[in-house]
Each structure stands twice: as C-alpha cells, then as structure tokens.
C-alpha cells in the first residue's frame, strides 16, 4: 500500500529567505502541494519577482530581516491576519563566506552568526508562540548544513559554528516542545547550486557546481518532512551529492 502522507492543502507555512535559492524552491513546492506560504525575505521586491508566477491567494510576501525579532513577530502576525493561523515554520535564511577567519571584518562574521543562528532562534520562537496560542501544535524545520555536523573544511569556521548552533538548538528545542505537539526537524544539506557565497569564496558559473545538489532537491526534503504523519518525525536528515565525500 502507498505510504501515508499528510495533505498540506490549506496549511500555512512561514519560510524565511524565500526570495531565492532553497527558500524560493521550498515556496514553489509548498504551493504546488496546496499550502499557503508567508514568504519572508530581507529583499521583498526580490521575493515578489521570484514568486510572481505563484497564485496570489497562496502567497504573502513579508519584508523580514531575520536578525530582528520584531520583524519575525510581524511576519507571524501577517500569517494569522491573512489565513487565521500558522501551521509550520521553515527557518531557511542564511549567509556565509569562505576564507580565513583573519580575512573578514568583525561586521561580516557577526552578520553570519546573527542571520544563521539568531535568525533561526527568532523565527522559530515567534512561530512556537503562535503554535502554543493556537493549541494544535505545529512543525519546525531548520535548514542547517553538513558543515554543522563536523564535516566542514578549513576556511568556513564561523559559518560552521553557526550551523553547529542551529543543530544544537533544534535538538534541544525538540526535547522542550515535542510534548506540546510541536515537531522539530533539521535538514542538513551539503553543497547546493545556488548563488550562496558567490564573490566571497565561491565563483558564479563554476562548473563544479553542476555536481552539487539542486535547491529543488532540498525543498523536496522539506515537503516530505511536513507531509509525514504526525506520529513520526525526522530529527536530522543529512543530504549529499554523489560527488562529495560524506
């Protein structure tokens, strides 16, 4: 018999970093599955252009800087005002650079931690507060990286630290909120073919990227996690291309 899947039709999902890359692909597949998406991005116009082909009644673009707890709280309220509730959050927004820790100014390294780690904390906290208020539980999906699982090479130290933080946050949060019907999952992909870190350690158009995972590969994993029956959860899902050593 076919595997049991939850129907996401009408489900309301907040996605951070939805204006490009993995976040945009997540929005695409969620809408295809029937969900409504609060598409959060620090560049709202970029998000509108990226998601313009999606049905307007299933997408709400919110200008959101994930470094701001107030912006995340406003995004959650946007979901509630538009659709009456929030069912899931996908904490995807992230930044990074590749190079020696000695090569970048304090502000660049601070931005990595504030966006990747604290941005996840603020997004998830705002969503969990709404899950608790609604009383029906919810789903938290954290987009981390295999760099947070001890596989990072040199020249990505602060990025790796932020991703370790995401993984630890999700593991601890699961133990805190699972009894309230809130399911926490972490997806940790290896290299993905996006514009991530182009110009700061990666080169746009580099042929090696052709062997990387695609944004849609990771987005499909997000949807799979959300479609799982509520009796089960995926604590940690690492994803690799066939060209990379795990």
Residues with catalytic roles: 159
**What is the token pair recorded at 53?**
């082909």
In the numeric block, the tokens 């020249």 are attached to 155
Distance of alpha carbon 50 from alpha carbon 138, whole angstroms = 27
Q: What are phi and psi of 37, to 5 degrees?
A: -120, 125
- What DSSP character marks residue 213? B
DSSP H helices, the chain, are 21-32, 44-50, 69-83, 106-112, 119-134, 157-177, 215-227
Strands 59-63 and 88-91: unpaired
Residues 6+ away with beta carbon under 8 Å from 71: 40, 63, 64, 65
């Amino acid at each position: 018999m076919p595997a049991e899947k939850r129907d996401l039709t009408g489900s309301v999902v907040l996605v951070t970093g939805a204006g490009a890359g993995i976040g945009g692909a997540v929005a695409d597949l969620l809408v295809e599955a029937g969900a409504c998406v609060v598409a959060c991005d620090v560049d709202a116009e970029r998000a509108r252009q990226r998601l313009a082909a999606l049905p307007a009644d299933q997408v709400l673009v919110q200008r959101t800087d994930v470094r701001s707890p107030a912006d995340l709280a406003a995004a959650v309220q946007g979901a509630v005002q538009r659709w009456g509730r929030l069912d899931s959050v996908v904490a995807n927004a992230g930044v990074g650079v590749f190079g020696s820790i000695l090569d970048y100014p304090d502000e660049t390294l601070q931005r990595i931690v504030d966006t990747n780690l604290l941005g996840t904390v603020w997004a998830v906290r705002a969503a969990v507060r709404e899950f608790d208020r609604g009383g029906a539980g919810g789903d938290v999906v954290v987009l981390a990286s295999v760099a947070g699982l001890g596989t990072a090479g040199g020249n990505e130290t602060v990025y790796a630290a932020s991703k370790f933080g995401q993984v630890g946050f999700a593991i601890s949060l699961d133990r805190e909120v699972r009894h309230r019907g809130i399911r926490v999952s972490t997806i940790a992909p290896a290299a993905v073919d996006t514009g991530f870190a182009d110009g700061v350690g990666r080169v746009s158009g580099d042929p090696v990227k052709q062997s990387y995972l695609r944004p849609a590969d990771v987005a499909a994993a997000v949807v799979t996690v959300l479609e799982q029956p509520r009796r089960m959860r995926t604590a940690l899902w690492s994803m690799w291309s066939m060209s990379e050593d795990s």
